[in-house]
Amino acid sequence: METIISTDIQQAKSLLQADELIAIPTETVYGLAGNALSTPAIKKIYEVKKRPYHNPLIVHLYESSQIQQYTESPSEMGIYLLKKYSPGPLTVIFQKNSLIPDIVTAGMNQVALRIPKHPITLALLSELEFPIAAPSANPFGYISPTTPAHVLQQLGSTIPFILDGGPCQKGVESTVISASDNQIIVHRLGAFDIDLLFEEDPNLVILNHETGKLTSPGMLKQHYSPRTRLHIYPTQFKAEEHSHLKIGFIGFTTIPSDLPIAHSIVLSKEGDLDEAAFHLYDALHRLDAMQLDLILIETVPSKGLGMAINDRINRAVAKFI
């Protein structure tokens, strides 16, 4: 299949109306989009992504006034948070109503809603009579795409159209939360400023695979991985075993001068976490295409957005240890 990369919203709209899938830009990563109210379209999403049917999809709305349209007695706190911080990289889980097909939520009663902050995708959503279900536009388990070129490389021949919105400004996925009775639970760390959530609820709980509570399948231990072996530097680097290999290096602010490195990428010379998040997946995509034996990556300071970046790095390396 020839894949068109274009800014033509009308073409994007016609394809979605015909239950076809397209890739859409958001401020976080590109999504693989289909009509959220159409079971045949949603089936295609799981097939193209090779995603297990037990992993639910995020439903993307145009504006927060639509929350009530697709939910059943939504929590006050959830509505308040999504209204206050949308459009933006915050996804909130609500009780769904019967308009949302069960396949979207993997059979669960909860649906995850978000309003993406990207002008072209908001323009598209404003023209549709249905919301869009969209997981990240990568094959299940691999690195998420932050440019049309990444999408083309990974899903190209399987989808007809990529809506071109340029590179994604945030670079890591949205923060997924649920909120009830003034208690916020973070199911997936992400691009949303975690300090704002701490201000809303100083006792918020961050779930992860170590808590053993897999309420969100996105918290899988192994995820977001390149095909090339990936280790954290310096903790997982074994000089005696690794130094003869062809090595790629992703450094936070600098690259060590005492290693035999074939290709290297710095995430942010200034040590800026926003810039590091913006470059992270592109760096992994680029080094993954270079026929290296090993990619070494440094973690970043674990504060604010750094927590989400380290979460992605740790889950990307989990496949290789």
Q: Which residues form the interface with Mg ion (CB under 5 A)? A: 136
Among 103, 134, 177, 316, binds ligand TXA (CB under 6 A): 134
Residue number closest to Mg ion, CB atom: 136
Q: Which is nearer to ligand TXA, 3 or 26 (CB)?
A: 26
Q: Which entry of Mg ion, ligand TXA, none binds 314, CB below 5 to 8 A by partner kind?
A: none
State the nearest-atom distance from the C-beta of 106 to Mg ion, in Å.
14
Of 111 and 317, which has the nearer Cβ to ligand TXA? 111
Count the residues of the shown chain that bind ligand TXA, applying the rule CB under 6 A.
Answer: 30
The least CB distance from residue 258 to ligand TXA, in Å, is 37
Residue 121 interacting with ligand TXA (CB under 6 A)? no
Contacts of 56 (CB under 8 A, 6+ apart): 104, 105, 106, 108, 110, 111, 112, 217
- Stretch of 55-63, 76-84, 204-212, 224-232 lying at the interface with ligand TXA (CB under 6 A): 55-63
Stretch that binds ligand TXA, among 169-177, 197-205, 289-297, 305-313 (CB under 6 A): 169-177
Asked if 151 is part of the footprint of ligand TXA (rule: CB under 6 A), the reply reads no
Residue 32 or 230 having the CB closest to ligand TXA: 32
By the rule CB under 6 A, 125 interacts with ligand TXA: no
Longest Cα–Cα distance of the chain, Å, equals 60
Asked whether position 34 contacts ligand TXA by CB under 6 A, the answer is: no
3-state secondary structure the chain: CCCEEECCHHHHHHHHHCCCCEEECCCCCCEEEEECCCHHHHHHHHHHHCCCCCCCCEEECCCHHHHHHHECCCCHHHHHHHHHHCCCCEEEEEEECCCCCCCCCCCCCEEEEECCCCHHHHHHHHHCCCCEECCECCCCCECCCCCHHHHHHHHHHHCCEEECCCCCCCCCCCEEEEEECCEEEEEECCCCCHHHHHHHCCCCEECCHHHCCCCCHHHCCCCCECCCCEEECCCCCCHHHHCCCCEEEEECCCCCCCCCEEEEEECCCCCCHHHHHHHHHHHHHHHHCCCCCEEEECCCCCCCHHHHHHHHHHHHHHHHC
- Report in angstroms how near the CB of residue 144 gets to Mg ion at its nearest: 5
Tell me the closest approach of the beta carbon of residue 58 to ligand TXA, in angstroms: 5
Site for ligand TXA (CB under 6 A): which residue of 217, 256, 301, 304?
217
Instruction: Supply the minimum distance, in Å, between the C-beta of residue 239 and ligand TXA.
Output: 36
Binding site for ligand TXA (CB under 6 A): 26, 28-29, 31, 55-58, 89, 91, 93, 105, 108, 110-112, 114, 116, 134-136, 173-174, 176, 187-188, 215-218
